[in-house]
Structure 1
Amino acid sequence: MRGIKVVLVQNDGEARVIDNAPIGTTLMEVGRNAGVDGILGDCGGGCSCATCHVYVDADWQARVGAADEVEIATLDMVSHIVKPSSRLSCQIVLGEQLDGLKVTVAPLD
């Protein structure tokens, strides 16, 4: 099965390009497996910790879609760094429509 390309920009400004990210996995799984700084996924993808918080690039927001009520409630735990483009990467399931997706990892504080 063919994967897609995703770009995660770390807080130090380094863009981590991941080619062949498996379709059907979450952005959090891909980032964590690649050792992307700031993608911890402490809850394992259960949408309960906000340790995989990212800012979705403006060009990708419509394709990624909006957060649901549970995700919004979880993001409230880090409300001091939430932006309109905030999403939890554990809730972004990768599909072909997200080939080339670019996000910036939110700070951990």
Structure 2
Amino acid sequence: MSAVATELSNAQIEFYDLLNQGPPQIVNYWNEGHCRTGELLEAMNFLSRSEKLMAEFYLMVWYGNQKQGFDLTEACSVLDQNNREIIASWVKNPFWP
């Protein structure tokens, strides 16, 4: 981890580990313990359905709420196995950064 990682909470480090397993288009909206939510919400208009679902999932975990409309049922029916496994790993051991 970089020097920045030492400034992050354990939950934030765990979040970044989870984030880095998902679509690379989403990763850059989180930086040094902050999310550029407005920019991500705007970008979501141009993401694929799967990428948008993963962005909604990461926002739900980050903020600890469902304001972005993450739908687990839709995610299970649309996402590939890798992305479903990311969500399942969080469900088994939930955390909130």
TM-score by length of 2: 0.32
TM-score by length of 1: 0.30
More helix by share: 2
Higher relative contact order (CA 8 A, sep 6+): 1
